[in-house]
Structures are given as C-alpha cells and as structure tokens.
Amino acid sequence: DGGITQSPKYLFRKEGQNVTLSCEQNLNHDAMYWYRQDPGQGLRLIYYSQIVNDFQKGDIAEGYSVSREKKESFPLTVTSAQKNPTAFYLCASSPGTGKNTGELFFGEGSRLTVL
Amino acid sequence: AQTVTQSQPEMSVQEAETVTLSCTYDTSENNYYLFWYKQPPSRQMILVIRQEAYKQQNATENRFSVNFQKAAKSFSLKISDSQLGDTAMYFCAFYGNKLVFGAGTILRVKS
C-alpha cells in the first residue's frame, strides 16, 4: 500500500546526543515536510523539501538538520543544539509545486523523549 | 501573517448527537484552501474535509460538513450522528502559499 513510513515510533535520547528520525514515502510525491507537535501549539513546520537535493527552513529549524538525497526519503536529525527536543514529530508529503492544493499525507509520527 | 484560531481547546458530545467545531483565520489572500484534519489517539493525521475558497458551496463528506463564511473568515466543522470513533484531536488548517495549522480541538464522544 502507498503511504509514509516513519521510524522509530518511540525514541529516547540522552542530552547531548544527536538522533535521526527516518521518513520514507512511496507515493511518488515531490514535496516532503517535517512538523513538530507540542501540546496546545498545533503543528509547527521544521523543514520542507520540494525537490531532491533541495530543502528549506521552516518556522522552527534551529537545532535540526535534514537531507533529501532521494525522492523517497527525508530524514530529520535532531541535534544537541535543539534546546527542547522532547516532542512528537510528524513527517508528511504532498504532490509538489504546481500540483499542490495544500493537502498533506502524514506518517504515524515519532515520539522523541530526552532523558 | 496568516493565522488560524481554534477557540475551543476541548469539547464533548454524546454519541449520535451533532457537534460543531469552530475555526477562524486571517489572511489577505483571495484564493486559498481550508482543511479539517483529524488526529485520533493512534496519532496519524487524516484529512477529513477540504474547501476551496472560490467555491461558495459548503463541502460535505458523509457525516462531516463545513460552514464556510468567506467574508467572516470562518470555517466551522459540523459532525452529525457522532460516533465513538470520532474521538480525536481536530485541526483546522489554511493553505495560501503555505500551510498553517490551528492549535487543535480535542473532541470526546461519550457513550
């Protein structure tokens, strides 16, 4: 079935460690996104990519990094520079520029907890 | 800046009854899309309904319908015949040149 797969579902990290969250899609979508979800704040955009080998900062990119080496994959690294990384992270995709109506297709999310 | 406001942090409804979730937005654009997304306890976001701003007719998807008031910048979601499976967080979202989400409304359907 077509969809978006995020892994791991749950992740624990010690302070000072970098961690990478995986996001893979087989929808043949051009655009991919990473959102952070905190209670009472809705979804906030971290990074997005509209095409392979290109990505843009969202509203809260500090302390995060991404890569887009393949169309299907858009991993997110939470670095030690992120001051408050404990959150729920959602990956999403959309068809892309020119075909985009704003509708996103979401993965099941990854819960990161810093110990 | 575009903003989306959901003024009801939490709501409850009895099974089989009707409930309306509120959403207002602020934009200077004329062409845009509006969405309601559902996030059940499993946490995967699912699109519930979509409305194109240029369409005057309110969108409907089975038990879900919207009341789109463009001049008032209001986009409420009505759920009819509420079911236990409707229990979820509901997010209103606006898409002009970027997608902006509201803070969400937790809906609990009680048996």
> What is the per-residue pLDDT across B63-100, written as a single tens digit (0 to 9) for each?
999 999 999 999 999 999 999 999 999 999 999 878 89
Task: Confirm if B93 and B37 have CB atoms less than 8 A apart.
Answer: yes
Q: Do B43 and A104 touch (CB under 8 A)?
A: no
Which residues of B touch chain A, with CB atoms under 8 Å apart? 4, 9, 32-33, 35, 42-47, 50, 52, 91, 93, 95, 98-99, 101-104
Could you give the 3-state DSSP secondary structure of residue A105? strand
Sorted by sequence, the CB contacts under 8 Å of residue B63 that are 6+ apart come out as B79, B80, B81, B83
If you compute the radius of gyration of chain B from its CA atoms, what whole number of angstroms results? 13
Judging contacts by C-beta atoms under 8 Å, the chain B residues touching residue A104 are 45, 47, 99
pLDDT digits (tens, 9 = 90+) for B26-70: 998 888 999 999 999 878 899 999 999 998 899 999 999 999 999
Instruction: Evaluate whether B56 touches B67 at the Cβ level (below 8 Å).
Output: no
Query: How many angstroms separate the CA atoms of A111 and B94, rounded?
Result: 25
Q: Minimal Cα–Cα distance from B77 to chain A, Å?
A: 17
